[in-house]
Amino acid sequence: MDPEIFDQFLEQLERYVRERLIPAEKQVIADDRIPDEIVTEMKDMGLFGLTVPEEYGGAGLNTSQYAKVVKTMAYAAPAFRSIFSINVGMFNSAIKNGGTEAQKAEWWPKVAAGSITCFGLTEPGSGSDSAAMATTARPDPDGNGWILNGTKRYITNAPHAEVGLIMARTEKEALPKNAHVSAFIVPMDTPGITVGSPDHKMGQSGSHIADIILEDVHVPGEALLGGETGKGFRFAMMSLDNGRISVGAASTGYARRALDSALRYATERKAFGEPIANFQLIQQMLAESETEIYAAEAMMADVTARADRGENILRKAAAFKVFASEMCGRVVDRVVQIYGGAGYLAEYDAERFFRDARIYRIYEGTTQILQLQIAKHMLREFAEQA
């Protein structure tokens, strides 16, 4: 998108977040769902197709622009970002990197119009460990299609999604570079698909996850992403770079929201006859939080610029996600401390910030898995240079 037009869009989005979404947060929390009219507004604004190319009906945002939108949206309750994040991050990225021209022509216009997507990788017995993936896809003996069987777990947007990108084994034995895993574009109303009840979570009210059960799900040959077996996991991992940027941007935006709340509370709350903001140890927590948010913002600017230049960002996207999500956890912890006893009460926002932020360190790759990934690539590069 043209930079000047994008800046105008971002300014309008900031107003929408503050004037429309934040006032709706209490209703989202009380009902554990986003009001239908707000979802419709978000679709009309084009938020579900931000990264779809313009020729397919999307906004055509580059990675830097899309991350700024996510960060802006994440200032409000996490559910508002979550409902469109799989579209603009992982699903669209997988279609871009691995989809055939026919798949792009079929699915991108639907996604740009607001079709909600989900990403089916995690299972009861496997997440980052693809060798343990149990979902299978076997050739349909009656045609050129496939038959899928298995269970996916913790799938964001599963209760609402119209289409899912489902990872499944197309080979019994684990193969090098995860070539035993393929990806399939599966409409969620396909016979044999059952979506479980939304799981009850620690935080992030209004954002729903659920199991997806696949029992003899028949899909046509055209459902195989890229038209080739053995490349699904690679496409998934490539799309996870965008997913990790999204979580990093969300962590950064939500940390800013929490810090702004703490600033407001610290200037209003009085102790010993003066605002607690005057106390140096309160100021230390505020300053540490500001410093860390600024560092995350700088990392976001760097990794997204690299992505837009076409660089391999696997390691840096992982590093950004690790730092930003851990940073957000530290910030919301300080915010609870600044609120004091009030920070432990559900009546105040600090308690919600603390619960909402905890998942950022877990999904799209736990901190520990990503640290292993970062170190593995560091050691590989060192060995190649030796």
The single residue of 288, 290, 364, 381 carrying the catalytic annotation is 364
Rounded Cα–Cα distance for residues 372 and 301 (Å): 24
Neighbours of 278 (CB within 10 A): 14
Query: Strand, helix or coil at 353?
Result: helix
* Cβ 325 vs Cβ 367: under 8 Å: yes
| C-alpha separations of 86 from 46, 227, 254, 327 in Å | 14, 22, 18, 23
Q: Beta strand pairing status for 181-187 and 193-195?
A: unpaired
Rounded Cα–Cα distance for residues 100 and 156 (Å): 25
Q: Which of 137, 150, 181, 186 is nearest to 166 (CA)?
A: 186
* Cβ 118 vs Cβ 189: under 8 Å: no
* Cβ 296 vs Cβ 248: under 8 Å: yes
Rounded Cα–Cα distance for residues 64 and 93 (Å): 14
| C-alpha separations of 16 from 19, 302, 350 in Å | 5, 27, 22
Note if 364 is an active site residue. yes
Q: How many helices (H) and strands (E) does the chain have?
A: 12, 9
Neighbours of 167 (CB within 10 A): 27
User: Which segments within the chain are labelled E, that is strand?
Assistant: 117-120, 136-139, 146-156, 163-169, 181-187, 193-195, 209-219, 270-271, 274-275
Q: Beta strand pairing status for 117-120 and 163-169?
A: parallel
* Cβ 262 vs Cβ 335: under 8 Å: yes
| C-alpha separations of 263 from 268, 285, 292, 329, 335 in Å | 9, 10, 15, 17, 9
Residues known to be catalytic: 364
